[in-house]
Amino acid sequence: MITLILAAVLAATNAPCRVEAVVTAYCPCRICCGQYADGVTATGRDARLPGIAVDPKRIPYGSRVYIPGLGWRTADDTGGAMRQSGRRGIVHIDVRMPNHKAARLWGVKRLTVTILKKESK
C-alpha cells in the first residue's frame, strides 16, 4: 500500500516525498553483485561513483534521495531484492558503498528518506 501511495505522489508532483524505507548497502564487487559485477550500473553509470539501487517502478531512475547519515544520492541502479520488496509494498533502497567492508558495516536500517523525483523534460 505504501509503495502505491509513493508511486502516486511521485507521479503527480515534483514535491519532496518522505517515506519509511529499508536501507541496505552494497559495493560493486562479485560478492555483492555476483555475475552482474561489471562495474556499470543499470543506467550505464560507473559503479565506483556514489549512487543507490531502487525498484525503478517505485522510485524512477535519476531521482534524488536524501538518506540520513549519508546525504543525497541518485537512483541509478536496481537489483532483485529492491524489486521483490517493492512487490510486497516495501520501499527498499540499496546504497552503493566504495568497498565491501563499508557495505557490511552499514547493515540494514529502517530510515525516513526524502525523495525528489527526476524532473520530466
Cβ–Cβ under 8 Å, residues 61 and 76: yes
Domain of 77?
2-116
Model-level pTM greater than 0.85?
Answer: no
Total number of domains in the chain: 1
Does residue 30 belong to any structural domain of this protein? Answer: yes
Average pLDDT, the chain: 89
Render pLDDT for 21-76 as a digit per residue (tens, 0 to 9).
999 999 999 999 888 889 999 999 999 999 999 999 999 999 999 999 999 999 99
Question: Is residue 65 a part of any domain in this protein?
Answer: yes
> In the predicted model, is pLDDT for residue 1 greater than 60?
no
Residue 66: predicted pLDDT: 98
Whether 121 is in a domain gets the answer no
Whole-number pLDDT of residue 36: 81
Helix H segments across the chain? 2-12, 30-33, 80-87, 100-106
What's the CATH code of the domain at 43?
2.40.40.10
42 within 8 A of 61, measured Cβ to Cβ:
yes
Distance CA 78, CA 12 (A): 23
